[in-house]
């Protein structure tokens, strides 16, 4: 497979962009080699600058749940853009978007639109601190909540991919307010609460983690976090930037029937455009300016082009619930087929899956947290990645990322992927 144009573009990019990319994992530093430069995409497929075609299992890291260039979204963007791309003033569409989100997800009384998942999580933590009058919060090793200073302590995903253990530019004072525990370890959370009585404002968690691979919560884990937060006056924040509207129309809150105090969104909520949001109980959300004194603002928050893209996509997901069951069936078919071929080859592996998220780990042990994910054979994953890439299958370029399946992926794409895996040894 010729990728000479991508190689020349990467050389050119490195002269003008740090590392040649605008987001670190795209640089292929973990898997090695030259990143693929994409020209266009349609449905289940990406097409690069050398006219190679790939089955896409990244789907823009989640938002392309109905496939690339989904026509109703593209048409809505085109029509709305004719009225101008931004106003910096309120629009009726923002109200309709808020009403639609509230009709789909549980336990959200008020919601504020922002421009990214990072901004949503950063704002949720600030709000929790303002609401409780406390400064510290608990996050989990391997969970990634964006690149705000306080989140980059043991953040997994891109940090792990680049082998960055501590981050220059993050002050000691900021890091000291970030308490960390292993994912799926309730006892570790209880210990931190005992060590810091009445100091913890929030617990923020990816309820189904996607930044150390797809890691499911252990039985009783999320329920235990909810109970601890209730007992100690701590705000429970579900980071559903990845899982929101993907695993179910109401996200993990619906799937596991557990209500968070605040929830953050991104990815699907923007239909592929840069959008995030945070919302939750009125008692907490009313502390955000202009209702309260916890300040948060954004010039492009509620941007009309982003709103119409997200609104169009969310409305389709709400009106067609079979999308989720079909996605789960496709993902199960893919995971089972890959597992069967790896077993035939005698390759030890664990495949984690929930709904339309999955990850392949090259180790025979259960992968339940960041430590068990790190014990897998990362060099073997890197070979697996490049083997599939040469065979027209595009995976996340890191062993620490979840795969995202779109409804455009059908039997033909699944069978082609399994066939490619069958040739790997």
Spatial CB neighbours of 292, under 8 Å, sequence gap ≥ 6? 130, 286
Count up the domains in the chain and report the number: 2
Question: Is 38 within the bounds of a domain?
Answer: yes
Kindly state whether residues 219 and 168 are assigned to the same domain.
yes
Q: Are both 209 and 271 inside the same structural domain?
A: yes
- Rounded Cα distance, 299 and 396, in Å: 32
What digits encode the pLDDT tens for the residues 176-186? 899 999 999 99
Q: Is 267 a catalytic residue?
A: yes
State whether 110 and 144 are in the same domain: yes
Structural domain includes residue 23: yes
Is residue 131 among the annotated active site residues? no
pLDDT value of residue 97: 98
Whether the bond into 290 is cis, omega within 30 of 0: yes
Complete DSSP assignment for 282-313:
HHHHTTBTTTSSB----TTTT-HHHHHHHHHH
Closest by Cα among 407, 106, 98 to 250: 106
Q: Is 239 one of the catalytic residues?
A: yes
3-state secondary structure of 21: coil
The reported pLDDT for the residue numbered 163 is 52
- Say if residue 392 is in the same domain as residue 247: no
Check: CB of residue 417 under 8 Å from CB of residue 338.
yes
Residue 369 domain-assigned?
yes
Residue 404 lies in a domain: yes
Q: State how far Cα 136 lies from the chain centre.
A: 24
Domain finish residue from 319, 353, 381: 319
Q: The tokens 């789909």 sit on which residue?
A: 104
Kindly state whether residues 187 and 232 are assigned to the same domain. Answer: yes
Catalytic residue among 45, 131, 144, 394: 144
Q: Which of 221, 249, 267, 311 is catalytic?
A: 267
**CATH number, residue 405:** 3.90.1150.10
Average pLDDT, the chain: 95
* DSSP-assigned letter for residue 360: E
The 3-state DSSP class for residue 193 equals helix
Q: Assess if residue 63 is contained within a domain.
A: no
Residue appearing with tokens 């569409």:
93
Q: Which domain holds residue 332?
A: 4-57+321-422
**Boundary (domain end) residue, out of 270, 296, 319:** 319
* Domain identity same for 34 and 93: no
Judgement on whether residues 155 and 259 belong to the same structural domain of the protein? yes
Among 319, 352, 369, residue at a domain's last position = 319
Q: In the β-sheet with 262-265, what is the strand arrangement from edge to edge?
A: 110-114, 276-280, 262-265, 235-239, 200-205, 136-141, 178-182
pLDDT at 304: 97
User: Do 106 and 38 fall into the same domain?
Assistant: no
Q: Is residue 65 part of a domain?
A: no
Residues 212 and 124 placed together within one structural domain of the fold: yes
- For residues 358-371, b (16+ Cβ closer than 10 Å) or e, as one string? bbbbbbeeebbbbe
Low-confidence ranges of the chain (pLDDT < 50): 157, 161-162
**pLDDT tens profile 379-417:** 999 999 999 999 999 999 999 999 999 999 999 999 999
Residue 393 burial by Cβ neighbours in a 10 Å radius (0-12, 13-18, 19+): buried
The answer to the question of residue 66 being in a domain is: no
Do 315 and 329 lie in a common domain? no
CATH number, domain of 83, equals 3.40.640.10
H or E stretch covering 250: none
Question: Looking at the structure, do residues 168 and 236 belong to the same domain, yes or no?
Answer: yes
Do 188 and 305 sit in the same domain of this protein? yes
Residue 149: the pLDDT is: 82
- Look at residue 168 in the predicted model and tell me its pLDDT: 74
**Is residue 209 assigned to a domain?**
yes
- The catalytic residue among 48, 177, 239, 261 is 239
């Amino acid at each position: 497979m010729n990728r000479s144009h991508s190689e020349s573009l990467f050389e050119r990019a490195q002269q003008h962009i740090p590392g040649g990319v605008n987001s670190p994992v795209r640089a292929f530093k973990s898997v090695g080699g030259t990143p693929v430069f994409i020209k266009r995409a349609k449905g289940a497929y990406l097409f690069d600058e050398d006219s190679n075609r790939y089955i896409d299992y990244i789907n823009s890291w989640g938002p392309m749940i109905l496939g690339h260039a989904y026509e109703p979204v593209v048409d809505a963007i085109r029509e709305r853009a004719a009225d101008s791309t931004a106003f910096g003033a309120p629009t009726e569409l923002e109200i309709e978007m808020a009403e639609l989100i509230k009709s789909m997800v549980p336990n959200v009384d008020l919601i504020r639109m922002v421009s990214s998942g990072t901004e949503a999580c950063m704002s949720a933590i600030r709000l929790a601190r303002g609401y409780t009058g406390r400064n510290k919060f608990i996050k989990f090793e391997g969970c990634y909540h964006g690149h705000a200073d306080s989140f980059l302590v043991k953040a997994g995903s891109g940090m792990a991919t680049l082998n960055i253990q501590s981050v220059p530019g993050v002050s000691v004072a900021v890091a000291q307010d970030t308490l960390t525990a292993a994912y799926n370890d309730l006892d570790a959370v209880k210990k931190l609460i005992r060590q810091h009585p009445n100091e913890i404002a929030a617990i923020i968690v990816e309820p189904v983690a996607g930044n150390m691979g797809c890691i499911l919560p252990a039985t009783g884990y999320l329920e235990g976090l909810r109970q601890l937060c209730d007992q100690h006056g701590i705000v429970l924040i579900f980071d559903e930037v990845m899982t929101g509207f993907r695993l179910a129309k109401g996200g993990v809150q619906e799937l596991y029937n557990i209500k968070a105090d605040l929830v953050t969104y991104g990815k699907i909520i923007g239909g592929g455009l840069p959008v995030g949001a945070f919302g939750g109980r009125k008692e907490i959300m009313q502390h955000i300016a202009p209702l309260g004194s916890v300040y948060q603002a954004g010039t492009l928050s509620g941007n009309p082009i982003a709103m119409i893209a997200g609104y169009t996509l969310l409305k389709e997901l709400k009106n067609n619930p079979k999308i989720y069951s079909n996605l789960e069936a496709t993902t199960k078919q893919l995971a089972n087929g890959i597992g069967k071929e790896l077993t035939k080859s005698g390759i030890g592996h664990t495949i984690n899956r929930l709904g339309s998220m999955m990850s392949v780990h090259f180790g025979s042990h259960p992968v339940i947290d960041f430590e068990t994910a790190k014990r897998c054979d990362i060099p073997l994953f890197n070979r697996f990645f490049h083997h599939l890439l040469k065979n027209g299958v595009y995976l996340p370029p890191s062993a620490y990322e979840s795969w995202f399946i779109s409804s455009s992926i059908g039997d033909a794409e699944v069978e082609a992927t399994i066939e490619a895996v069958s040739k790997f040894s």
